[in-house]
Structure 1
């Protein structure tokens, strides 16, 4: 593959290999800002899913949201857990605070419903395995909502790396900062370690970590990290984090995240014969601006952004309808949580933590679902 071939039909859905009929009816569990402003509109704009039930702690306040998007049913959490209206949906999208993911995902799996769950899959690798095992036992599809894996710019970048356009990858640099308190109150659940499982690393750092693994198609063998928090309201979680990952061979990755810095995101992949740079990959709307340097050649592609949330839900629906296992599955999410656990251990001990690349994080049952 050369660069020009990769840039042809840049927005192609290479995962969409056959025509399918029908849609997957979704219950959206947790109607926060992202669900209301991005997820539900993304589902509505897509082809393979439709929202039919909203599950919330405030049914009365959520009713206008349901009316706006033409969703017939609104349920309280307890009613959802009791199985009310389970005939009105085929799958659930879990968008609650992280510590409640297992509760609602397991309930769905036990009723034979497919699951797409926000990242991180839970607050620890152990708790994430509970979700993966429950879905495996039930024989239902589990997808972790790594929407960047469905974003065309990131997919084209992966193709270029795999084709050796920049030679062997030596370094990956990924950073994501977001001034949290400009958009949320100090009592946000994201600053509660019991609900979130961590701070900037869990909420933001997971983006460059997972994207690096996806681009390299490899898992790290070690992690070294440092965290820093100044004072309230970040005193219980990491305000700033830096993680150094070592991969098999010569590749390393430097991943940074911050809850209290100017909004910024960047991704750069440096190889022995070139470099790929992606502008603003992690901020929610990728501008489709990618620069590739290969030897003495420099190529730039700029195009209109694609709704990565719509792509994500269409991919999930397509996988359910065709019986295809999603790439960002439970095992993928568990690896990230093992890396996060190792990073926090490293930050506490000030030592490099070795990760066993041969360890399987998915049970045999999970691999067979």
Structure 2
């Protein structure tokens, strides 16, 4: 049984990654596109053989249709909650891009709506289905580096003027857009929830891109076991995406570590030996939609559910408060019992067939 998705928001991430990824999934298809640009969507629909294109004013009628099983929401952050809650109330499963919402109240409302409707809400953590990311966690579980002590990461690139991620009203900024990957990695590496955030930020006065959001954010998270996670997220630096974990007896590094365009590469150093592994390049978006569709078909709740997205949001909000006040901020979150495991990996083949308009 193929799971039929409506893609809500036909911007860059949908065009570059999600639409071509669904074709690679093997168990999913896009049945409709919801967008404000009907001409653009018509070209995408023709390219991918998608049967329906509707405007945002037609969203409620679309999700009332039995032709749709699930929605993928790739809208600006401040629109996630509204469209997710409406889909859940219509009985549709929901996959939402990160961050889950723009406030804890919104995230909780999304979780409640999904539970009340008995549908799945999944936060789109594509790396939970990527082999290198899961291999890191398996090495740590196997005590390959002893007890993990320190996590260090950089995720940066140069963003372009006009991008909606530079808008304060959309809760944009490098922390929310790429810092969330660092937070999520650290939480699963330590298998704990952070309890305190310290942070600082930089916003240049002479760069028109950063009139509303910070250019760079540096943060430290403290974990109950004593683990420390430090990262820098930036929209104004060279393209770097990696992380390193130092334990009591060894260390490991994933570089590249986050982006979907490149294969991950792991270096493990322990007992005086260095082992390097290059993992296969997979289609991250095809893998995550394949996994979510498997969950829908089997009735199994996804690991990266709404509570997973909420956990990262609590850290994001604490870091934001710490950066704006200069005062360490406490974080309160319930421990998570589920983490990415090898059975969640999907070796979905990559494709060059895509249309970006």
TM-score, structure 2 normalization: 0.90
Moved over 6 A (4+): none
Q: 1:230 aligns with which of 197, 201, 204?
A: 204
Equivalent residue for 2:165? 190
Whole-angstrom distance in 2 between the partners of 1:356 and 1:288: 32
Equivalent residue for 1:217? 191
Contact 2:193/2:334 (<8 A) preserved: no
Is 1:145 the equivalent of 2:121?
no
Equivalent residue for 2:292? 316
Equivalent residue for 2:228? 252
Equivalent residue for 1:283? 259
Whole-angstrom distance in 1 between the partners of 2:279 and 2:143: 24
Contact 2:62/2:68 (<8 A) preserved: no
Equivalent residue for 1:325? 301
Unpaired stretches in structure 2, ≥5 consecutive residues: 337-357
Whole-angstrom distance in 1 between the partners of 2:255 and 2:310: 28
Equivalent residue for 1:171? 150
Paired residue secondary structure (1:269)? strand
Deviation per residue, 1:312-343 (Å, 9 max, x gap):
11111011111111111100111111111111
Contact 1:279/1:286 (<8 A) preserved: no
Q: 2:72 aligns with which of 85, 88, 93?
A: 93
Contact 1:149/1:214 (<8 A) preserved: no
Equivalent residue for 1:265? 241
Aligned pair count? 334
Unpaired stretches in structure 1, ≥5 consecutive residues: 1-21, 361-369
Deviation per residue, 1:240-288 (Å, 9 max, x gap):
0001001111210001110111111111111001111111112223423
Equivalent residue for 2:351? none
Whole-angstrom distance in 2 between the partners of 1:344 and 1:33: 26
Where do residues 190-209 of structure 1 align in structure 2 (5 Å cutoff)?
A: 190-195=165-170, 197-209=171-183
Equivalent residue for 2:22? 43
Contact 1:53/1:88 (<8 A) preserved: no
Question: Alignment RMSD, CA only?
Answer: 1.5
Cα gap change, 1:85 to 1:141, in 2 (>3 Å):
closer
